Amino acid sequence: MKDLRAFDVDIVSLKSITYVFEYNVGDAFFAYFDTELVQQGNCAVKVEVTKSSTMIKASFSIVGTVELICDRSLEQFIYPIAHEHLMYFKFGDQNGDDSDDIVVISRSTQAIHLGKYIYEFIGLEIPFKKLHPRFITGQEEAVEAELIYATPLDSEEENGPLADTLPTEVDLEAGLAQLQEKFKKKNK
């Protein structure tokens, strides 16, 4: 895909009714934007465009999957996308943005370029921290940790309310013996 002209909607020829535009975006679409956010995916996009004399309402519906890289393990995984967004293109004297959902376009504007909005809306669905599903559902290996020794925070605590929780000399010797056994097994 050399450019995004396939995602242009010629608004000059539109009548004051609702039009439905459907697109399938894939790897070539994501490659056009040349960012690391999303590089591969497959999404079905449906855009309902309603033109009136003062504005154009565009309702985006995006469903599909994208391939992401886990921030923790650097493994690739498939992430589902489902996004709906409503935008207004209001006719005005000059082009500009009123807000995130309202874009002012001049009356001489020939077409609305939907490709960049589709990419942005897909990007909105990408989580800030990208984790492989096995980390989210708790399927990762559980590592049991054993407290061997804890130092008191203050010398006064040795005789204070936490004195019962401090390890005794017998506990320390047992912990040391366990560590020595693990070390011997590991070095065999």
What is the pLDDT averaged over residues 41-47? Answer: 95
What one-letter code names the amino acid at 57?
A: K
Ordered DSSP codes for 140-177: SPP----------SSGGGGGSTTTTTSPPHHHHHHHHH
The pLDDT of residue 106: 85
Mean pLDDT for all residues in the chain? 81
Name the residue with higher pLDDT: 163 or 137: 137
What is the pLDDT averaged over residues 42-49? Answer: 95
The pLDDT of residue 161: 56
The pLDDT of residue 1: 45
pTM here is 0.68
The pLDDT of residue 143: 47
59 pLDDT above the threshold of 90: yes
The string of pLDDT tens digits covering residues 85-125 is 999 999 887 777 667 788 898 888 889 999 999 999 999 99
Spell out the alpha helix ranges (H) of the chain: 27-33, 115-125, 133-136, 169-186
Report the range out of 53-62, 95-104, 138-147, 154-163 with the highest average pLDDT. Answer: 53-62
Backbone angles phi, psi at 89, to 5 degrees: -110, 105
Name the residue with higher pLDDT: 145 or 4: 4
CA 169 to chain centre: 51
Say if CB 70 and CB 77 are below 8 A apart: yes
Rounded percentage of the chain residues whose pLDDT exceeds 90 = 32
